[in-house]
């Protein structure tokens, strides 16, 4: 098989396993690595030194200066893995086979940001990983490969991240091999759904718990942003209370009560009243001593 030369636009843990898989294949040559401009990722820099790969940082990918530099590497394909600059027309047309991106969302749904968090918040029963061609839209290019993975009540942000780190590397590698062999698919996203949808970036304040919501919604919020996320947050007498874990109580009855109130202590934490029932919260971080009867706000 003819060797394929790629430029790797990547950053963070998402990109590490993928790099290790690509570098093991002698028919794939990584010509350069471009990390995020604000990167804190030293692993890719270490990889570049170990394997003698040019490390280009910082760069603005759509400038004429960078495009001319990139052309000098004569790459066949550019690969994006957790990269955060938007590719415009001139850079997209630079490699002869285009640019592909790996996205932890089931396109054309779940385009955009913080996808794993939103999938849990929305109580999805599965999430997807998609490799697609890059066009000038955001996550709108033709799909090459896509796979779905089950979400159970035992899953949380941490577990979905672990699945994604591993599975992204596999599906991205497989997509590159399909392109290399000339057997890749191109599925227009509008053939799946004419519109799809986007998810916005989560920010400050989105971690706050509304105890007037039902137990299921609060459970989903807590597990969607647990460590290494910011953790769901509430207050007790003005003190911040961070909650890393929650569990639904089987057969918990619906009844009227004081929402946010700590009802009982458990071996792991507390039972807390919600709009409809109650749930268990544990792995709690706070400076104040919590006790039964306290009301979280």
User: Which domains, from first to last, does the chain contain?
Assistant: 4-199 (3.40.50.170), 215-286 (3.10.25.10)
User: Is a pLDDT exceeding 80 seen at residue 114?
Assistant: yes
% the chain with pLDDT above 90 = 98
Strands of 269-273's sheet in order across: 232-236, 239-248, 278-286, 269-273, 262-265
Rounded to an integer, the average pLDDT of 74-81 is 98
User: Is the Cβ–Cβ distance between 217 and 242 less than 8 Å?
Assistant: no
Render pLDDT for 167-200 as a digit per residue (tens, 0 to 9): 999 999 999 999 999 999 899 999 999 999 999 9
Rounded to an integer, the average pLDDT of 120-145 is 97
Rounded to an integer, the average pLDDT of 197-213 is 96
Cis peptide leading into residue 292 (ω within 30°): no
- Nearest C-alpha neighbor of 88 from the set 78, 75, 102: 78
Spatial CB neighbours of 132, under 8 Å, sequence gap ≥ 6: 100, 101, 103, 107, 139, 141, 142, 143, 144, 189
Render pLDDT for 36-75 as a digit per residue (tens, 0 to 9): 999 988 999 999 999 999 999 999 999 999 999 999 999 9
The mean pLDDT value of the chain amounts to 97
pLDDT of residue 1: 74
d(CA 66, CA 106): 32
Render pLDDT for 219-273 as a digit per residue (tens, 0 to 9): 999 999 999 999 999 999 999 999 999 999 999 999 999 999 999 999 999 999 9
Per-residue confidence band for 117, with pLDDT thresholds at 50, 70 and 90? very high
User: Is a pLDDT exceeding 90 seen at residue 111?
Assistant: yes
Rounded to an integer, the average pLDDT of 144-167 is 98
pLDDT of residue 18: 96
pLDDT of residue 250: 96
């Amino acid at each position: 098989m003819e060797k394929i030369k790629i430029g790797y636009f990547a950053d963070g843990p998402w990109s590490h396993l993928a790099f290790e898989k690509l570098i093991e294949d002698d028919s794939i040559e990584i010509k350069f690595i471009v990390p995020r401009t604000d990167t804190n990722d030293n692993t890719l820099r270490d990889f570049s030194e170990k394997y003698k790969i040019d490390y280009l940082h910082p760069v603005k990918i759509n400038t004429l200066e960078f495009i001319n530099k990139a052309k000098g590497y004569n790459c066949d394909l550019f690969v994006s893995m957790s990269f955060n600059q938007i590719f415009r027309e001139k850079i997209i047309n630079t490699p002869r086979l285009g640019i592909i991106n790996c996205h932890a969302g089931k396109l054309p749904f779940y385009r955009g940001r913080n996808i794993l968090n939103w999938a849990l918040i929305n109580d999805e029963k599965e999430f997807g990983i998609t490799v697609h061609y890059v066009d000038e839209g955001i996550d709108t290019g033709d799909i090459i490969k896509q796979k779905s993975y089950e979400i159970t009540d035992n899953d949380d942000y941490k577990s979905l991240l672990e699945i994604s780190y591993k599975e992204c590397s596999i599906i991205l590698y497989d997509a590159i091999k399909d392109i290399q062999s000339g057997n890749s698919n191109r599925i227009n996203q509008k053939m799946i759904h004419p519109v799809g949808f986007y998810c916005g970036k989560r920010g400050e304040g989105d971690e706050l718990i509304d105890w007037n919501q039902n137990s299921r919604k609060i459970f989903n919020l807590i597990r969607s942003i647990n460590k290494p996320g910011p953790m769901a947050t509430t207050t007790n007498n003005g003190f911040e209370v961070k909650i890393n874990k929650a569990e639904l109580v089987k057969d918990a009855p619906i009844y009227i009560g004081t929402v946010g109130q700590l009802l009982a202590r458990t071996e792991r934490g507390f039972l807390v009243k919600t709009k409809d029932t109650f749930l268990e919260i544990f792995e709690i971080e706070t400076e104040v001593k919590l006790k039964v009867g306290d009301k979280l706000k």
